[in-house]
Amino acid sequence: QVLLVQSGAEVKKPGSSVKVSCKASGGTFRNHAINWVRQAPGRGFEWMGGIIPFFGTAKSAEKFQGRVTITADESTSTAYLELRSLRSEDTAVYYCVRILWALMDVWGQGTTVTVSS
């Protein structure tokens, strides 16, 4: 049974950066497709990007290119999402999810990121 545990809530100033972690247990981490999805207050879900640790190359949504970095550390079975140049519109709950056979079947508990001056 795969379990994803994310880091805690963050409060950030506009223009700063945030790095959220997602530690996996169970299964074979290097084969997991770990993706990041966010949910802003009152809005739907937005896919941000993902990585398969075995391949090491991340993909990100066009909207976030240049502002987001997705990485994975096989030694600790942990994936990371870094988002830079934060603005108020980035206030959201950020989820890491495993995608298996095109289904988001395992979700982290979510990390609330609040961007406020």
Binding site for another protein (CB under 8 A): 35, 37, 43-47, 49-50, 59, 61-62, 95, 99, 101-105, 107-110
Residues contacting residue 77 through CB under 8 Å, at least 6 positions apart: 23, 24, 25, 29
- Nearest residue (CB) to another protein, 42 versus 75: 42
Contact 47, 37 (CB under 8 A): yes
- Smallest gap from Cβ 80 to another protein, in A, equals 18
Smallest gap from Cβ 44 to another protein, in A, equals 4
Q: How far is the CB of 13 from another protein (least distance, A)?
A: 26
Nearer to another protein, 36 or 80 (CB): 36
* Beta carbon of residue 117, minimum distance to another protein (angstroms, whole number): 26
Nearer to another protein, 14 or 26 (CB): 26
Q: Are the CB atoms for 39 and 47 separated by under 8 Å?
A: no
Residue among 29 and 94 whose Cβ is closer to another protein: 94
